[in-house]
Chains A and B, each alone.
Chain A
Amino acid sequence: MTAVVGALVDTRVEVQDLFDAYLWIAVAVAAIVFGAVAFAAVRYRRRPGREPSKLSDHKRIELAYVGLLVLITAGLLVATFRTEDKVDAVSSDPALRIDVTDFQWGWTWRYPGGVSVTGNSDAPPTFAVPTGETIRFTVRSRDVIHAFWVPEQRFKRDAFPNRTTQFDLDFDRPGMNGGVCAEFCGLRHSRMSFNVLALSPADFQGWLAEHRGTP
């Protein structure tokens, strides 16, 4: 984990950009392979008089090709490591700290000042977060392994019993986002969900005041 002071990282943008780069490379490779197979299938069909080539290897072309593969691999790794640096970065001074406890089959979020919100598969909870601020999540599980996934943020982390996992997220867009448990955790895993309501910092303070003192 790299400590970056005050840097806001929008995981959605970072991960989406990296995914798009991988996707286009994959599409290009697929186009080449499909094209090559189609070419071979049409051009080299068995016909009377067609003599197959006797060539069985060509070391120079093969080794040049291996070199190309190594370069592509290195390029992908550089892109991945750069993005991972940003996504894994944790601020030395987060604006807000939220403790999350997962359990079969629900969640408790504890905010500073004694505000705590709980909900489970019967009544999925809605948790508010302020936009434009770095939020430190500290996640643990009360029983089995769960995973905290907010698809809109393109981010997920597992929650283990007997230990905590920490990460920073920034919610840049106001609005309601869905979240689910992504690690299979028993009978009602399908229904272990929550909502994240991203509010402007002022509205968030209002929400916090509203929930102070309620369980």
Chain B
Amino acid sequence: MRPAPPDTAAGAVAAEPPAGLLTWVAGADHKVTSLRTAGAALIFFVLSGAIALVMRSELAQPGLQVVSDGTYNELFTLHGSGMIYLVITPLALALGAYFVPLQVGAPEIAWARLALSGFWIYVLGGATMFAGFLTDQGSGRNGWAPTYPLSGDHWTPGIGMDMWVLGTSMAVIGMFLLGVCVLATALRERTPGMTLLRMPPFTWSMVATCLMVVTSFPVLIGAMGLLEWDRHVSPVFDAAGGPALFQHLFWFYGHPVVYVMFFPFVGAVAEIVATFSRRRFFGYSLFVVSMLLFAALSMSVWAHHMFTTGQVENRYYSLTSHALIVPAGIEYFDLIATMVGGAILFRTPMLFAIGFILQFLIGGLTGIVVASPPIDYHVHDSFFVVGHFHYTLFAGSMFGFFAAAYYWFPKETGVRLREGLGKAHFWLLVVGTNVTFFPMFFLGFDGMQRRIADYPSSSGFGDLNLLSTIGAFLIAVAVAIFLVNLWVSLRNRDPGGDDPWEGQTLEWATSSPPPRFNFRGLPAITSFAPLLDRREGAARRKGEVAA
């Protein structure tokens, strides 16, 4: 059933459930579903971040001072699982659920109630995962990427681990459903005139993202089901090749999801860079090709997580992993080429976008380093890898998320976030991020393995770990400034208007926040930047009149 077209929006609003509890649970507006998903993800972000502070406190000096070995194992499991399954993936898909319908001129997301049920399944999954802390034997404690046989019932008994498996499965099912709806919206719900090659860069990034979601997420759900079967019914991964098989299944999801947590932020940053450079995004068609190539390649790199098993064809996975240099290089070229020749305004969204570009680069370049099997033999499962993926996921994706948050907040709420607090948030976060994660490269290369509660004092790792811990607390202060900014900006409202940044895409052609069915009328769609076309056309006509 298609949602009502914009001109009958008033009639359709009456068909919504009456205000009250039912609307709160079952109101299917994609904008509300998206904001709730992002809100829940931010709560899990604070929880998983607080866990990180406890971990960093434990690691600040050699010896056990804060928690036991067993508690530490629970904490690093919930920190990683929380951030990946419950924070960054949902934030990425929530951005898509809000802005893909708007950018393609659709009144609603496709299958709005399916998207809504995805949100509820995800939240219940997250709660289940965290509730594992309350059980006798503790929560899941095998890391975000468990291995078999350790994750079997014999080596990790207890209901908390089962709750981790169930919670993870539910979170992934929820995000799968949301991804399906976003993909269907981009492919099936575009307004007339919005051809595929007029979809903005962000929408294309969500298409590439959701193609990976629909092809890889079901594999994890299957793997988790088989793991539960193995734990409680009969052995599944028991044979000689079983442990490697489990890793294959896990990483067939686990690598694409890394790019699920990256692409949407590249897309958002592309739009921010174009808008604040007051210029059309450079190299659009090659950018679209590179996104699709990136997504396709990302389905063939998974066993680069298994170079040290001696059970995979290292050269093949090294080849496909190195090949990612090409699409990633194109994206960087286009982002920088858009800035060169622009008229750049350094507002908070643009600062975070540049932070994303430069810091993700460090994650990307070290990613190429670990794509080389002989080097990976040394740094695999060390803090070098921990530094690498925190540069991609935190210094990259979370900076991309903050860029998107400052950019789109006025659209979602009608008010701007405070610029002064935003800049304080940005600069403190840059310092905290690099102080926290850069030392990890040295620690890992010098022999500090990951997932350890403690290290011997003879190792000499104490100083760099202390530095990293100080950085983590700076990050916490920066995030607190962001939360204060949200609160202050919503209380003392500074209206942003419909289009505070001279946006180029359709979401800026409606009110802030948009009405229930998004648009009361649409401008002509002439390219992937219809509002820029309109402004340039007006300027041209003004010039002709003046002449």
Q: Which residues of B contact A156 (CB under 8 A)?
A: 308, 377-378, 380-381
Which one of B155, B282, B362 contacts A30 once the chains associate, using CB atoms below 8 Å? B362
Interface centre among B308, B314, B336, B339 (most CB of A within 10 A): B308
Q: Judging by beta carbons under 8 Å apart, are B368 and A41 in contact?
A: no
Quick one: given A23-B369, A41-B339, A189-B451, are A33 and B332 in contact (CB under 8 Å)?
yes
Interface membership of B195, Cβ < 8 A: no
Q: Which of B483-536 contact A (CB under 8 A)?
A: none
- Any B CB within 8 A of the CB of A83: yes
Whether A161 sits at the interface, judged by CB under 8 Å, is yes
* Mask: chain B, 66-84; 1 = CB below 8 Å from A; 0 = not: 0001101100000000000
| Complex: A30 Cα to B368 Cα, angstroms | 13
B279 contacts chain A at the CB level, 8 A cutoff: yes
Chain B residues whose CB sits within 8 angstroms of the CB of A23 once the complex forms:
369
Stretch of A64-72, A111-119, A128-136, A196-204 at the chain-chain interface: A64-72
Cβ-neighbour of B378 out of A15, A40, A62, A188 (below 8 A): A15
Of B148, B447, B451, B453, most A-chain CB atoms within 10 Å: B447
The reply to whether the CB of B196 lies closer than 8 angstroms to some CB of chain A is no
Interface presence of B46 (CB below 8 A)? no
Q: Which residue of B lies closest to A27 (CB)?
A: B365
Considering the chains assembled together, what is the distance between the CA atoms of A10 and B323 in angstroms? 29
Closest chain-B Cβ to A204's Cβ sits at a distance in Å of 24
B447 engages A158 (CB within 8 Å): no
Q: Are A186 and B150 in contact (CB under 8 A)?
A: yes
List chain A residues, Cβ under 8 A from B346.
Answer: 41, 45
Q: How far is the CA of A72 from the CA of B522 in the complex (A)?
A: 45
Q: Is the Cβ of B341 less than 8 Å from the Cβ of A44?
A: yes
B375, A185: Cβ atoms closer than 8 Å: no
Question: What B residues does A97 contact at CB under 8 A?
Answer: none
Q: Contacting A187 at CB < 8 Å: which of B69, B308, B342, B362? A: B69
Given contacts A44-B277, A165-B310, contact A144 B150 (CB under 8 A): yes
Cβ of B333: which chain A residues have Cβ within 8 Å of it?
A: 62, 65
Residues of B contacting A214 with CB < 8 Å? none
Q: Which residues of B contact A189 (CB under 8 A)?
A: 73, 451-452
Would you call B278 and A46 a contact (CB within 8 A)? yes
Flag whether A157 is at the interface (Cβ < 8 A). Answer: yes
CA distance A18 to B378 in the complex (A): 11
Interchain CB contact under 8 A, A26 and B366: yes
> Does B369 contact A22, Cβ atoms closer than 8 Å?
yes
Cβ contact of B358, chosen from A37, A79, A151, cutoff 8 A: A37
Partner of A56, one of B241, B284, B322, B336: B284
Chain B residues, CB < 8 A from A76: 322, 325, 368, 372
From 442 to 462 in chain B, residues with beta carbon under 8 angstroms from any chain A beta carbon are 446-447, 449-456, 459
Known: A57-B282, A76-B368. A191 touches B345 (CB 8 A): no
Cβ-defined contact, B365 with A26, below 8 A: yes
A34 (CB) vs chain B CBs: closest residue: B358
Complex: chain B residue closest to A179, CB-CB: B447
Chain B contacts for A72, CB-based, 8 A: 325
- Whether the pair B372, A22 counts as a contact (CB closer than 8 A) is yes
A151 touching B378 by the CB < 8 A rule? Answer: yes
Q: Is B424 an interface residue, CB under 8 A from the partner?
A: no
Kindly list chain A residues whose C-beta atoms are within 8 Å of the C-beta of B319.
77
Per-residue B-contact encoding for A111-150, CB less than 8 Å = 1, 0 else: 0000000000000000000000000000000011101010
| Cβ B282 vs Cβ A56 within 8 A | yes
Query: A66-B326, A178-B447, A190-B69 given as contacts; is B240 within 8 A of A57 (CB)?
Result: no
Question: Could you say which of B142, B278, B344, B450 has the most chain A C-beta atoms within 10 Å of its C-beta?
Answer: B344
Known: A46-B278, A56-B281, A56-B282. A187 touches B70 (CB 8 A): yes
Which residues in chain A, 12-52, are within 8 Å of chain B measured between CB atoms? 14-15, 18-19, 22-23, 26, 29-30, 33-34, 36-37, 39-41, 43-47, 50-52
Cα–Cα distance between A154 and B342 once the two chains are bound (Å): 46
A77 touches B322 (CB 8 A): yes
A and B contact pairs by CB, cutoff 8 A, 11 listed: A22-B375, A37-B336, A46-B278, A66-B326, A69-B330, A83-B374, A84-B318, A84-B373, A163-B240, A189-B451, A193-B456
Other contacts beyond A33-B361, A66-B330, A80-B374: 9, CB < 8 A: A26-B368, A44-B344, A70-B326, A77-B318, A84-B374, A156-B377, A161-B149, A161-B243, A180-B447
Q: Which A positions have Cβ atoms within 8 angstroms of B?
A: 11, 14-15, 18-19, 22-23, 26, 29-30, 33-34, 36-37, 39-41, 43-47, 50-58, 62, 65-66, 69-70, 72-73, 76-77, 79-81, 83-84, 87-88, 143-145, 147, 149, 151-152, 154-158, 160-163, 165-167, 178, 180-191, 193
